[in-house]
Structure formats: structure tokens, C-alpha cells
């Protein structure tokens, strides 16, 4: 059988490019999102943690006994909103951000580990992070916090996995700034909520945004040769 990869948040931007990259390399690709289409697509709402949990369990149960040479997982699903100070955000938007960026992502790792920990396949998991995880960006406090939380979880998970007889080699990939819809969304914010909007606009106008297919190729290459002792990567340093 072909190698198998699950890509959470693969309907657009980098996620879509990742689906195309692995599909072109003869992988079976399962894409989880709300807006994807086609045979590869699995409908999954990461803002509904209970529903997402059921989707994860059902999907992994369907594949856990297959004889695959490799089984990978990429976590790319994330929300930027809400912008602005935490005190200005409403509680619904805060909770939705936490559900998408933290709660569902953690449960995805949990169910993947439960289903495939003992599988004989080579296994690799990548979390698509952001430079925001390692710096303070005014107006994006929740995004900075949620990315930092998952980075720490994934890096610790990778350390724990090295004690397992069938480890899930795991890594964090900071893709850098890319030309995606997310970047366009950032540039549409007003300065009151996002004081650094001019900086992001300048990156776009000066052609400093990386092409998503180049970043997707780097992600593929990094996952092909995981190094447990070097589990954090900045993709654009490899371009």
C-alpha cells in the first residue's frame, strides 16, 4: 500500500500546497477541514471539539490496521482571530480560538498517538507553527499564545516518543511569512487592532513573502528525514 498522510487544515494556502505535494509524491492524502472538497476531503470543524473528536476517532480507526510503510500527520489548522487586545475580544471569539488552535489540535495528537503508536510503519508528525510563537506581536496575543502552547506540547511529545519502541517522530515547522490568504487577512486589519499592519503590507509589496509550494516542498523534505535531536525548523532557511 502507499504511504498515508493526514493533513489538518488542507483546503487552502499552505495546507492545500501540502496536499498537492504529497499527492504528487504518490502518497494517499486525507485532508481534514470545513471547506475542502474531493475524495481526499474529510469534513471536520475544529471549532467544535466534541464533533472533531468523533471525526478523529472514526478516521483513525478506519486506517489503523492497514499495512502502510509510512504514516504521517500534519497539523496546519489554525485561526488568527480575534485581533486586538484580549480585553476587547468577546468571550465567544476567545473560546473559538482556543478550541481550534489548542483543544482540537491536542486531541488530534492524542487520537493519532492512540491509533498508531504500535503500528510498524515509519511515523512522523509535523506541527505548522509561526514566528508568533516565539515573539510578542501586539494585537495577536491569543495567536502568539496558542502557537507557543502547541510548539511546547509537540516538542515535549517528540522527546517522550524517543522512549517508545515504535516512535512517532515529531517536529515543529515555522514556515515563515508566505503569500497566503492568511497574510491577506492580516493586511486588512486596522492599526487600532494591529499596530504592525504596515510592516506586513511592506513585506507583501516588496516581494518578501515566500511561495507556498516552495514551503510545502521543504516540509516534505524535513518529514522524510526527521531528526529527533533537531525538532524545530524554520522552513525558509532551507529554501
Fold exhibited by the domain 4-179+211-238: Rossmann fold (3.40.50)
Mean pLDDT over each residue of the chain, to the nearest integer: 89
pLDDT band at 208 (very low <50, low <70, confident <90, very high): low
In the predicted model, is pLDDT for residue 116 greater than 90?
Answer: yes
Kindly state the average pLDDT of the residues 170-191. Answer: 70
**Residue position matching grid coordinates 512517532:** 168
**Rounded to the nearest 10 degrees, how much is the dihedral formed by the CA atoms of 61, 62, 68, 71?**
-60
| Closest by CA position to 123, among listed 155, 170, 91 | 170
* pLDDT for position 139: 87
Q: In what order do the strands lie in the sheet with 28-33?
A: 41-43, 28-33, 4-8, 70-75, 122-128, 168-174, 232-234
Domain locations in the chain as residue ranges: 4-179+211-238
Model confidence pLDDT, tens digit, residues 51-70: 999 999 999 999 999 999 99
Statement: residue 207 has pLDDT above 60 = no
pTM equals 0.91
pLDDT tier for residue 214 given thresholds of 50, 70 and 90: very high
Of the pLDDT bands very low, low, confident and very high (cuts 50, 70, 90), residue 236 is: confident
pLDDT in tens, 1-55: 999 999 999 998 899 999 999 999 999 999 999 987 888 999 999 999 999 999 9
Amino acid at each position: 500500500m502507499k504511504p498515508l498522510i493526514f493533513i489538518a487544515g488542507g483546503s487552502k494556502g499552505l495546507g492545500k500546497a501540502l496536499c498537492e505535494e504529497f499527492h504528487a509524491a504518490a502518497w494517499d492524502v486525507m485532508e481534514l477541514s470545513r471547506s475542502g472538497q474531493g475524495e481526499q476531503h474529510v469534513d471536520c470543524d475544529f471549532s467544535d471539539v466534541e464533533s472533531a473528536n468523533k471525526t478523529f476517532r472514526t478516521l483513525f480507526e478506519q486506517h489503523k490496521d492497514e499495512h502502510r510503510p509510512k504514516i504521517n500527520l500534519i497539523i496546519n489548522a489554525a485561526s488568527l482571530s480575534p485581533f486586538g487586545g484580549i480585553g476587547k475580544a468577546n468571550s465567544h471569539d476567545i473560546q473559538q480560538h482556543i478550541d481550534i488552535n489548542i483543544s482540537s489540535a491536542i486531541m488530534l495528537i492524542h487520537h493519532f498517538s492512540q491509533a498508531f503508536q504500535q503500528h510498524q510503519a515509519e511515523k512522523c508528525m509535523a506541527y505548522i507553527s509561526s514566528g508568533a510563537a516565539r515573539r510578542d506581536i501586539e494585537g495577536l496575543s491569543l495567536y502568539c499564545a496558542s502557537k507557543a502552547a502547541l510548539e511546547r506540547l509537540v516538542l515535549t511529545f517528540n522527546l517522550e516518543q524517543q522512549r517508545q519502541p515504535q516512535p512517532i517522530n515529531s517536529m515543529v515547522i515555522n514556515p515563515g511569512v508566505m503569500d497566503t490568504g492568511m497574510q491577506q487577512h492580516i493586511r486588512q486589519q486596522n492599526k487600532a487592532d494591529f499596530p504592525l499592519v504596515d510592516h506586513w503590507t511592506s513585506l507583501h509589496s516588496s516581494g518578501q513573502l515566500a511561495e507556498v509550494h516552495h514551503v510545502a516542498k521543504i516540509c516534505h523534505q524535513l518529514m522524510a528525514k526527521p531528526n529527533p535531536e533537531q525538532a524545530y525548523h524554520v522552513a525558509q532557511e532551507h529554501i
